[in-house]
Chain A
C-alpha cells in the first residue's frame, strides 16, 4: 500500500519538475526570445531564417507539451529534437548581423538552451551538460570566427554565458538529484522488504517447528523418556511397536511440508517406507481422483495405515479409493490386535475387521455438505 503511495509521489514530483521546466522554457523562447527577435526583425538578413529558427524551437516545445500530456518520454525522437535545436541555432547564427553575438539581437543565445534542456531533462546530468556546452561552443565559434571580438564583446559574452549555462544547469542538477533520491529510496525499500520477508519466514518456520514439537511431545517424548530411564525395555514387542508407530509419525510429519501433487499418496509412501525397512512387503494401489485434503484429514486417513503397518508381520496391502465425495484409505495386513485410532476431524469414520490373523482397517472421509467448520492451514 505505502509503496504505491511512495511511487506515486515520486512520479508526481518528476512530472511537476517537467511541467515547470516546460513553462520556463516556453516563457523564455516564446516570450522573451520572440519579443527580442521581433524588436530587431529588420536587422536580420533575411529575417525569415530567424522566424524559421523560432518556429523550430516552438515545435520542439510543442512536442514536449504533447508528450507531457500523454505522460510519455521522448524515446527515440530525442536525438532528432536535439538536432532540430542545434540546426535552428546554426541557422540563426548564420543570418545574425556582425558583432551582435550575445546581445538583444542574438535572441536565440538565451532561448535554445532551454529548448534543449526540456528534451534532455530525464537523461543523466552529463547529457544536459554536454548539450549546454555544445550550445555555448557554437555561440563562441560564431563570435570568434565571424566577428572580430573586441574586449567588450568577450566580456559581454562571458557574463551572458553565466545565465545561459548556469540556470538550465541548475534545473538539470535538481532533476538528477531527484532521480538519484528516488533510486536510493527504491533500493532501501526493496532492502526493507527483503528483511521483512526473511523475518516472516523465520518466524513462520519457528512456529511450525514448535507446533511439530508439540505434536510429537504427546506421544514421542514419553516413549523416548521411557527408553532413556529404563522403564521401557526395547526388547518388548509392545515397545518395538510403539517405536515403529512413532517413526512413521515422524516421517509423516516431515513429509507433510513437502510440495507434491498428491500429498496423501506422498505421506502414505513415507509411512509405508518404515514398514518396508522392517521387511514387510507392502503393496500400495490407488484408484480414482479426490480433491485436495486438509492436513488434519490426511493425518486421520494415514493414521490407520501407520498403526496397522507397525504391527504387520510379513505383508500388507494399502489402497486408496477416491472420488469427489468420498476418500477411503484401507490397510489389510497380517497383524494381531491393533489399537483403533480415534479420528480428530468430523466426517472421518474408522472401521476395523479382524478375520483370522488378518486385520482390515478402513478410514473413510466424507466431506460435510457445509464447509468445514475449522479451516486448517
Chain B
C-alpha cells in the first residue's frame, strides 16, 4: 500500500491528498487552501470518480478527502468502510451536521469528520494529522461527541467533556486553554484521549488499532484505562 510509506516522514515530505467531491467549487477551494498552506499540500482532484482513489496517482495519496454524499441523501458508509479497511487515511468532508452521521463515520474509522462550514483552519490541520495517521477532531465533531448519548458510548471524564464542549463552543484552542486555565497542548491531549476512547469501543479497524497502539506508546492512556473503557460497555 502506497499510503504506508508516509508515516514518520510526513512532516518533511510533501503530503499528497486526493479529494472525492462532485462539486467542482469545493475541490477548487480545497486546492487553493492546500497550495496556500505552509508547507503546501499536493491535492489530486478525483471529481466524483471513486475509481481514481484506487488507481492512478490517487491510489498513492497519503490522505483521502471523501464527500460522504456523492449521491444526495445516501451517505456512502460502505465506501468509507472499504477505504479504511484498506489502510487509507480518510477525512470525511460532508455537508451533514447531524451527530449520528458524524459518530458513525468515526466508528467506521475516519480520522476526521469535518462539515463544509469548517474552513481551511480545520481542514489543513486535519490533512496534516491524517497524513501522520492521527485523528483530528473539529469543533463540529466535538459537539457531536459531547451530545452523544448512545448506550455504547465510551465514558468520558468530566474534564474531557468540558474541553470538548469548550472546543465546540469557541472553535479556538487558545480560548479553550485560557477559559479552562490549561495549556493548548493539554487541550489537544484531552481531545486525543476522547478519540482514543472512541476508537477503542468502535470496530477493530486498522487505523484504530494503530491509534490505540500509539496512544499507549505516547502515554495518552494506560492499559488499566483501556480495560476500564471496555468493561464499561
Known: A285-B97, A287-B99. A358 touches B143 (CB 8 A): no
Within the complex, the shortest CB–CB distance from A280 to chain B, in Å, comes to: 15
A window 270-308: CB within 8 A of B: 283, 285, 287-288
B38 at interface by CB-CB < 8 Å: no
Contacts of A360 in B (CB 8 A): 169-170, 175, 179
Q: Is the CB of A287 within 8 A of B144?
A: yes
Contacts of B97 in A (CB 8 A): 285
Q: Is the CB of A287 within 8 A of B179?
A: no
Contacts of B178 in A (CB 8 A): 353, 355
Interface code A314-351, partner B: CB below 8 Å = 1, 0 otherwise?
Answer: 00010101010000101010000000000000000000
- B contact residues vs A (CB 8 Å cutoff): 97, 99, 117, 139-140, 143-144, 146-147, 165, 168-172, 174-175, 178-179
Contacts of A328 in B (CB 8 A): 165, 169
Q: Is the CB of B140 within 8 A of A285?
A: yes
A106 at interface by CB-CB < 8 Å: no
Within the complex, the shortest CB–CB distance from A351 to chain B, in Å, comes to: 8
Q: Closest 10 interchain pairs by CB?
A: A287-B147, A288-B147, A287-B143, A330-B169, A319-B169, A332-B170, A355-B178, A353-B179, A317-B171, A360-B170
Within the complex, the shortest CB–CB distance from B173 to chain A, in Å, comes to: 12
Known: A353-B178, A353-B179, A355-B175. A321 touches B170 (CB 8 A): no
Contacts of B146 in A (CB 8 A): 287-288, 321
6 pairs across A/B with beta carbons < 8 Å? Answer: A285-B140, A317-B169, A319-B143, A321-B147, A353-B179, A358-B172
A362 at interface by CB-CB < 8 Å: yes
Within the complex, the shortest CB–CB distance from A338 to chain B, in Å, comes to: 15
Instruction: Name the CB-closest residue of B to A283.
Output: B117
Contacts of A330 in B (CB 8 A): 169-170
Q: Is the CB of B175 within 8 A of A321?
A: no
Within the complex, the shortest CB–CB distance from A23 to chain B, in Å, comes to: 72
Instruction: Name the CB-closest residue of B to A358.
Output: B175
- A contact residues vs B (CB 8 Å cutoff): 283, 285, 287-288, 317, 319, 321, 323, 328, 330, 332, 353, 355, 358, 360, 362
Contacts of A287 in B (CB 8 A): 99, 143-144, 146-147, 168
Instruction: Name the CB-closest residue of A to B143.
Output: A287
Q: Identify A355's interface contact among B99, B165, B171, B174, CB under 8 A.
A: B174
Q: Is the CB of B169 within 8 A of A321?
A: yes
Task: Give CA–CA (A337, B125) in the complex, Å.
Answer: 32
Task: Give CA–CA (A172, B97) in the complex, Å.
Answer: 73
Task: Give CA–CA (A362, B176) in the complex, Å.
Answer: 13
Q: Is the CB of A317 within 8 A of B144?
A: no
Contacts of A317 in B (CB 8 A): 169-171
Task: Give CA–CA (A191, B175) in the complex, Å.
Answer: 64
Task: Give CA–CA (A362, B179) in the complex, Å.
Answer: 11
Contacts of A321 in B (CB 8 A): 143, 146-147, 165, 168-169
Contacts of A358 in B (CB 8 A): 172, 175
Task: Give CA–CA (A288, B99) in the complex, Å.
Answer: 9
Known: A287-B99, A355-B178. A332 touches B171 (CB 8 A): yes
Within the complex, the shortest CB–CB distance from B182 to chain A, in Å, comes to: 14
Contacts of B179 in A (CB 8 A): 353, 360
Instruction: Name the CB-closest residue of A to B171.
Output: A317
Contacts of A332 in B (CB 8 A): 169-172, 175
Task: Give CA–CA (A323, B146) in the complex, Å.
Answer: 10
Contacts of B139 in A (CB 8 A): 285
Q: With A285-B140, A285-B168, A328-B165 given, can you name 20 additional A-B contacts, CB distance below 8 Å?
A: A285-B97, A285-B139, A285-B143, A287-B146, A287-B168, A288-B146, A317-B170, A319-B168, A319-B169, A321-B165, A328-B169, A330-B169, A330-B170, A332-B169, A353-B175, A353-B178, A353-B179, A355-B178, A358-B172, A360-B175
Task: Give CA–CA (A358, B177) in the complex, Å.
Answer: 14
Within the complex, the shortest CB–CB distance from B32 to chain A, in Å, comes to: 19
Contacts of A285 in B (CB 8 A): 97, 139-140, 143, 168
